[in-house]
Structure 1
């Protein structure tokens, strides 16, 4: 049964990582119009526990280094004497693509988790006979 628990451990790491990625993407989307907001990017880390089994976990959070967008709006409270202020560097199309990719990866990990659970259940049924 060790192989089943290893498979469940690997898929649960993938589920946790993709859920964290979706959370970061949703924060970026929520702050698309926040002045001075820098896009967050989640890195994944590969860890090895007691066994030689590799597991993916959410890693370090980085802020995007792309320049902030200059927005012209003289009526904005943060505008300087030229009527400009620094907006965010979040690109909504990139965030939507990242959200879609994270969602599909989450679903793939969920299917693997379910397949492993079904196989272990079938094995227990066979052993009971």
Structure 2
């Protein structure tokens, strides 16, 4: 893994954590939504599914190209199929936990017994998820800035 791939790894984590925070915010905003846009009933909590982007080892192509020409070595290092690792959001799924009934006979979405089905969103859990996403985002910014500082120091050595 090259030094510069660390930037890509941190950037992928920043993107994934931002999306996680967006979903937590969306869930919080819809805590009391008894009707979705499509009219399918109450809002259902959404969750982000992360997946590792496994890094492809390019050392074998490096070793085979080491004895070859500059062009073959350069082309092997620019291999488009080689991934650098990180994380990505593969999907956003709906939480299948049960909705909960609240007695409110005056509500327009109340059934014949006077109960309204409320979203399966727990504001405390969403707040904790948002805080966790924020802390992970901050940690990745710190790592990104540390790598940037190392790159600047390496360039200063050459002066």
Q: TM-score, normalised by structure 1?
A: 0.93
Alignment length, in residue pairs? 127
Consecutive aligned runs of 4 or more in structure 1 exceeding 4 Å deviation: none
Give the structure 2 partner of residue 13 of structure 1. Answer: 12
| Separation of aligned partners in 1, 2:19 and 2:121 | 18
Match of 1:70 among 101, 122, 126: 101
How big is each residue's C-alpha offset from its partner over 1:19-62, in whole Å with a ceiling of 9 and x where there is no partner?
00000000000000001110000001222463353220112111
Which consecutive residues of structure 2, in runs of 5 or more, have no partner in the other structure? Answer: 35-41, 56-80
Give the structure 2 partner of residue 34 of structure 1. Answer: 33
Query: CA-atom RMSD, angstroms?
Result: 1.4
Give the structure 2 partner of residue 124 of structure 1. Answer: 155
Q: Which has the larger radius of gyration?
A: 2
| Separation of aligned partners in 2, 1:28 and 1:44 | 18
How big is each residue's C-alpha offset from its partner over 1:79-107, in whole Å with a ceiling of 9 and x where there is no partner?
11100121100000100110111010000
Give the structure 1 partner of residue 73 of structure 2. Answer: none
Partner SS for 2:6: helix
| Separation of aligned partners in 2, 1:52 and 1:96 | 34
Which consecutive residues of structure 1, in runs of 5 or more, have no partner in the other structure? Answer: none
Give the structure 2 partner of residue 101 of structure 1. Answer: 132
